[in-house]
């Protein structure tokens, strides 16, 4: 028995020795922190690189994909053609001196007013007016008078859909150093829709230093706008409102104003409608008549007709002047009023502005040379033996004209290939110039015994 137990013990010890290797302790491999950090940095760098590449690819392809999936129409070129029978400055003065209409013109104006009243007055009112005329002449007169104002009001209502209020939002600081927002309002008029933007003509100076510009339409809808271009000379700017910010209901509600003519010889004494911010309040309207058209506003490279009226208005009035057909004939601007007529509404004739408005609407700069040109009266030219051309009455300091040697008292006879016979010829030639492109200006300068011809190379610039 003992021998058998001994054998069993020996066998168990042999078996244990056979599995001793399974009882070895396996040690964990030590972590290499340096390599781990390197891998983390590499992974993060690759992720950042991938993000930058993806972002750049998106920025480059996003406009292409948008144009492919949602193609936008190219903006149409806006054109306000110059009138063929544009009045010369001497004609403006002649009309202002006469200041009266011929008998036939007066009769025509009366017929137009009567026709408007007849077309727009309901039949019931006509019958009432006829019956009143047989009963009471005074009552008949009042009825006709009211019918005329009803007709003018109808013209105003149709034109008011093209009037907007432009709001300049600015940040100011009060006495206690607290920041607050202030708003300034000015009237504007919708002049075009180029299939991408609504274009609005308004005054520029109230919009200076504005953080944002809001355009409020006649149906109460507001949209953000931006200055497309502006003209320093006339202080006029074109505001653009992207069509994607406007619903179809708004676009169907508003209308584009029709630019009429301010060169009509029978304009003095005619009825007009002032619409906009006339007396310090938005959406206001006043009726009156044009009292004179003979004043001329002379600015650098341009002359504009000034229309004066008998309408009482704020000195800072803004808006448009309409004729009885609802056409815009003037842009309200009381800046050039005399000291004794500060509160009588005046406007710049729209005919002389059309070339400038066309450039601003197409985001083009208005060429600036800096010459104040005037016509030489025929009797003065004959008596003093002066050559025909545009007389340089003044020059802006540091303007392209002054820098290149043109002087006050010179007579301009040619701009580029255009012969100059009047101040209007010079102004039209400048409008046709291109910014930062050389143009040859030929002048005659008085010498000791005669006039000496001289030529200057001038480069028109944008006056911003």
| Residues 344 and 390 grouped into a single domain | no
Q: Is residue 251 part of a domain?
A: no
Model confidence pLDDT, tens digit, residues 260-287: 999 877 889 999 999 999 988 888 999 9
Residue 347 has pLDDT above 70, yes or no: yes
| Residues 288 and 333 grouped into a single domain | yes
Residue 6 has pLDDT above 50, yes or no: yes
Q: Which of 279, 366, 363 lies closest to 315 in space, CA to CA?
A: 279
Q: Is residue 439 part of a domain?
A: yes
Residue 227 has pLDDT above 70, yes or no: yes
| Residues 324 and 371 grouped into a single domain | no
Give the pLDDT confidence score for residue 258 in this predicted structure.
93
Q: Measure the CA angle with vertex 262, ends 256 and 266; round to 5°.
A: 130
Model confidence pLDDT, tens digit, residues 307-332: 999 999 999 999 999 999 999 999 99
Check which CATH number belongs to the domain holding 409 and give it: 2.30.42.10
Model confidence pLDDT, tens digit, residues 422-449: 998 999 899 889 898 999 999 999 888 7
Q: Is residue 61 part of a domain?
A: no
- Which is more confidently placed, 464 or 103? 464
Average pLDDT, the chain: 82
Q: Is residue 377 part of a domain?
A: yes
DSSP state of 97: H
Q: Are 218 and 188 in contact (CB under 8 A)?
A: no
Close Cβ partners of 353 (under 8 Å, ≥ 6 residues apart): 234, 236, 304, 331
**Residues above pLDDT 90, as percent of the chain:** 46
| Residues 408 and 336 grouped into a single domain | no
Average pLDDT of 198-207? 93
99 confidence band (pLDDT: 50, 70, 90)? very low
Of 22-31, 57-66, 87-96, 415-424, which one has max mean pLDDT?
A: 415-424
Give the pLDDT confidence score for residue 379 in this predicted structure.
86
463 confidence band (pLDDT: 50, 70, 90)? confident
CA distances from 9 to 19, 33, 91, 96, 401 (A): 16, 51, 140, 142, 125
| Residues 458 and 374 grouped into a single domain | yes
**Residues above pLDDT 70, as percent of the chain:** 78
Element containing residue 441 per DSSP (H, E): strand 439-446
Q: Measure the CA angle with vertex 412, ends 408 and 417; round to 5°.
A: 150
* Structure-derived torsion over alpha carbons of residues 33, 39, 42, 46, reported in degrees to the nearest 10: -140
Say how many C-beta atoms besides its own lie within 10 A of residue 27's C-beta.
6
HSE-CB at 21 with a 13 A cutoff on CA atoms is 1
pTM check: above 0.75: no
Of 30-34, 38-42, 107-111, 364-368, which one has max mean pLDDT?
A: 364-368
Give the pLDDT confidence score for residue 37 in this predicted structure.
81
| Residues 279 and 310 grouped into a single domain | yes
| Residues 450 and 374 grouped into a single domain | yes
**Domain limits for position 286:** 271-348
Q: Are 191 and 257 in contact (CB under 8 A)?
A: yes
Model confidence pLDDT, tens digit, residues 12-26: 666 655 555 555 555
Q: Is residue 438 part of a domain?
A: yes
Q: What are the backbone dihedrals phi and psi of residue 367, each rounded to the nearest 5 degrees, phi first?
A: -60, 140
HSE-CB at 168 with a 13 A cutoff on CA atoms is 18
Residue 43 has pLDDT above 70, yes or no: yes
| Residues 340 and 378 grouped into a single domain | no
Q: Is residue 38 part of a domain?
A: no
| Residues 385 and 427 grouped into a single domain | yes
Average pLDDT of 390-395? 94
Rounded CA-CA distance 260/140 in Å is 34
Check which CATH number belongs to the domain holding 303 and give it: 2.40.10.10
| Residues 373 and 405 grouped into a single domain | yes
Q: Is residue 306 part of a domain?
A: yes
Say how many C-beta atoms besides its own lie within 10 A of residue 104's C-beta.
9
Query: Which residues, in sequence order, are bridge partners of residue 203?
Result: 236
Give the pLDDT confidence score for residue 100 in this predicted structure.
42
Lowest mean pLDDT across 164-168, 246-250, 259-263, 381-385: 381-385
* Structure-derived torsion over alpha carbons of residues 10, 16, 19, 20, reported in degrees to the nearest 10: -120
Give the pLDDT confidence score for residue 8 in this predicted structure.
65
> Considering its fold, how many domains does the chain have in total?
2
Q: Is residue 434 part of a domain?
A: yes
């Amino acid at each position: 028995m003992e021998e058998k137990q001994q054998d069993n013990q020996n066998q168990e010890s042999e078996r244990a020795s056979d599995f001793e290797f399974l009882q070895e302790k396996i040690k964990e491999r030590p972590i290499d922190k340096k390599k781990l950090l390197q891998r983390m940095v590499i992974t993060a760098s690759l992720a950042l690189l991938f993000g930058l590449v993806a972002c750049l690819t998106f920025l480059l392809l996003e406009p292409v994909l948008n144009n492919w999936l949602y193609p936008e129409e190219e903006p149409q070129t806006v054109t306000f053609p110059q009138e063929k029978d544009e009045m010369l400055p001497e004609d403006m003065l002649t009309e202002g001196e006469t200041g009266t209409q011929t008998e036939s013109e007066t009769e025509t104006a009366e017929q137009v007013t009567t026709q408007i009243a007849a077309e727009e007055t309901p039949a019931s009112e006509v019958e009432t007016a006829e019956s009143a005329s047989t009963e009471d002449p005074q009552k008949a007169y009042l009825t006709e008078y009211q019918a005329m104002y009803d007709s003018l009001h109808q013209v105003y209502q149709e034109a008011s859909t093209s009037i907007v209020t432009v709001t300049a939002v600015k940040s100011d600081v009060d006495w206690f150093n607290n920041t607050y927002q202030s708003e300034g309002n000015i009237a504007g008029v919708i002049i075009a829709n180029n299939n991408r933007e609504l274009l609005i003509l308004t005054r520029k100076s109230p919009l200076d230093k504005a953080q944002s510009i809001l355009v409020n339409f006649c149906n109460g809808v507001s949209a953000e706008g931006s200055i497309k271009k502006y003209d320093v000379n006339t202080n006029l700017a074109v505001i653009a409102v992207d069509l994607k910010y406007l619903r179809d209901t708004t676009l169907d509600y508003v209308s584009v104003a029709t630019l009429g003519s301010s060169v009509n010889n029978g304009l003095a004494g005619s009825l007009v409608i002032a619409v906009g911010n006339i007396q310090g309040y938005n959406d206001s309207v006043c009726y009156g008549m044009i009292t004179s058209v003979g004043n001329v506003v002379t600015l650098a490279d341009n002359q504009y007709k000034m229309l004066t009226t008998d309408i009482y208005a704020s000195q800072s009035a803004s808006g448009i002047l309409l004729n009885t057909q609802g056409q815009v004939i003037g842009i309200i601007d009381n800046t050039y009023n005399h000291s004794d007529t500060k509160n009588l509404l005046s406007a710049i004739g729209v005919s002389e502005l059309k070339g400038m408005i066309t450039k601003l609407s197409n985001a083009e700069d208005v060429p600036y040379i800096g010459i104040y040109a005037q016509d030489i009266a025929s009797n003065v030219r004959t008596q003093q033996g002066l050559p025909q051309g545009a007389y340089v009455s003044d020059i802006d300091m540091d303007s392209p004209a002054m820098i290149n040697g043109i002087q006050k008292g010179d007579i301009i006879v040619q701009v580029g290939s255009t012969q100059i016979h009047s101040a209007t010829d010079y102004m039209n030639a400048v409008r046709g110039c291109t910014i930062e492109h050389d143009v040859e200006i030929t002048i005659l300068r008085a010498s000791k015994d005669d006039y000496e011809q001289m030529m200057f190379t001038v480069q028109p610039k944008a006056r911003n």
